[in-house]
Amino acid sequence: MGVVIDHAGCIGCRRCVEICPGNIIKLSEDGKAYLKRPEECWNCTSCLKECPKGAISLVLAPEMGGTGARLRAERKGGVTVWTIYKNDIEISSVTTNVLEANGY
């Protein structure tokens, strides 16, 4: 598993930089986000939820959707839509209520 940032999709808004609890994400000279110390990422998914462009995804273990499956998150008002993609085709999705997140 590991976080991947889509260079082309990033608009350099810095939201992931500011939300990362490990201070792992930085902006490169071209204004795009990257993981400076990927080995220190603990897959908390905060950056996935924060990115307004859906440019950050989490590569899942093969037993979680098959080889190459990725998790993306999209905030929509008071909910977060979690979607697993494989080869850019949606294979599963679940919606969680942000205010009740600790109950899941």
What residues make contact with ligand SF4 under the rule CB under 6 A?
A: 3, 5, 10-16, 19-22, 24-25, 33, 35, 41-47, 50-51, 53, 55-56
DSSP string, 11-65: ----HHHHH-TT--EEE-TTS-EEES-GGG-----HHHHH-TT--EEEEPPTTTT
The CB-of-76 to ligand SF4 minimum distance in angstroms stands at: 16
For ligand SF4, give the closer residue by CB, 24 or 69: 24
The CB-of-83 to ligand SF4 minimum distance in angstroms stands at: 16
The CB-of-40 to ligand SF4 minimum distance in angstroms stands at: 7
**Tokens 């260079």 label which residue?**
7
For ligand SF4, give the closer residue by CB, 33 or 60: 33
Rounded-to-10 torsion of CA 89, 47, 8, 24: -130
